[in-house]
Amino acid sequence: MDLKGAVAKGTNVPLTLKFEDAKGVKTTLDVTLPVGAPAGADAGGAAHQHKH
């Protein structure tokens, strides 16, 4: 990723997601997301509800 420092909250970051299905068909999806925690999240991770 070659980041040279922290990304400022509110900055939009472009991402490219790459998928490949069982038949080998490749698909890409370009998205741009803002940097920051989702609403209701806290630094302690209380909003982190899925299981590992």
- Residue 29: per-residue pLDDT: 96
Task: Supply the pTM of this predicted model.
Answer: 0.53
Closest CA to 28 of 37, 40, 20: 20
- pLDDT 10s digits, 1-52: 688 888 888 899 899 999 999 999 999 999 998 998 767 666 555 555 667 6
The answer to whether the beta carbons of residues 32 and 12 sit under 8 Å apart is: yes
Identify the three-state secondary structure at position 11: coil
| Cα–Cα distance for residue pair 47/41, rounded to 1 Å | 5
